[in-house]
């Protein structure tokens, strides 16, 4: 049986679970650090533009800062997750072209198997590389968002391919990926074809 709960109830359940598992203190510390970082960003943006920054601008700047920090530490799993958060933000704001490019970027990371290496030095990175194909996968929900946004933007599969290659080739040149965008695209296209086929079957039924 599925039970529906409100957002407040869900947050209460999460809090109780963190208390039981002993993770509440660490969670509160992370929240305090995040709030402090956002206030610093808010103040900097206000000084730069001479007016109070919107929550959207503060969140976007915060996520960009997080990505930079994750990248410098070779935490590419976290970098991927933050990119996904950015895609979610712009999708909800109806900036669909930007959202599509970011979801396609997430797919590119996923097909290379991003790992979190926590600032390991070069010698250790040889043994524990920042990308591992054994961890490579494609999240069905993200593939579905790629397809849904493509339909909303009235893009053909060939046009989506062009966005995927153009966006991710810029990233590929600067990082130690194991698969080039040209290698990754057929793998993503295979999953997109499944989503399209399932959608067509659903409409037919």
pLDDT tier, 65 (very low <50, low <70, confident <90, very high otherwise) = very high
What is the per-residue pLDDT across 138-178, written as a single tens digit (0 to 9) for each? 999 999 999 999 999 999 999 999 999 999 999 988 777 89
- Tell me what pLDDT residue 205 has: 40
Burial of 89 per CB tally in 10 Å (0-12, 13-18, 19+): middle
Share of the chain above pLDDT 90, in %: 57
pLDDT of residue 19 exceeding 80: no
Per 3-state DSSP, the chain is made up of helix, strand and coil in percentages (nearest 5) of 75, 0, 25
pLDDT of residue 122 exceeding 80: no
């Amino acid at each position: 049986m599925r039970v529906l709960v409100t957002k407040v109830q869900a947050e209460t359940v999460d809090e109780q679970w963190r208390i039981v598992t002993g993770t509440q203190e660490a969670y509160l510390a992370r929240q305090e650090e995040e709030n402090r970082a956002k206030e610093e960003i808010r103040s900097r943006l206000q000084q730069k533009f001479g007016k109070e920054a919107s929550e959207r601008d503060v969140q976007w700047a915060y996520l960009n800062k997080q990505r930079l920090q994750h990248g410098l530490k070779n935490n590419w799993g976290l970098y991927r997750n933050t990119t996904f958060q950015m895609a979610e933000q712009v999708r909800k704001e109806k900036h669909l072209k930007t959202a599509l490019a970011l979801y396609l970027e997430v797919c590119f990371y996923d097909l290379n198997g991003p790992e979190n290496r926590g600032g390991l030095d070069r010698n250790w990175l040889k043994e524990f590389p920042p990308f591992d194909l054994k961890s490579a996968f494609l999240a069905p929900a993200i593939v579905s968002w790629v397809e849904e946004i493509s339909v909303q933007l009235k893009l053909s599969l060939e046009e989506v391919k062009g966005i995927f290659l153009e966006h991710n080739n810029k990233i590929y040149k600067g990082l130690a990926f194991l698969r080039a965008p040209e290698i990754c695209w057929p793998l993503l296209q295979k999953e997109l074809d499944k989503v399209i086929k399932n959608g067509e079957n659903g409409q037919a039924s």
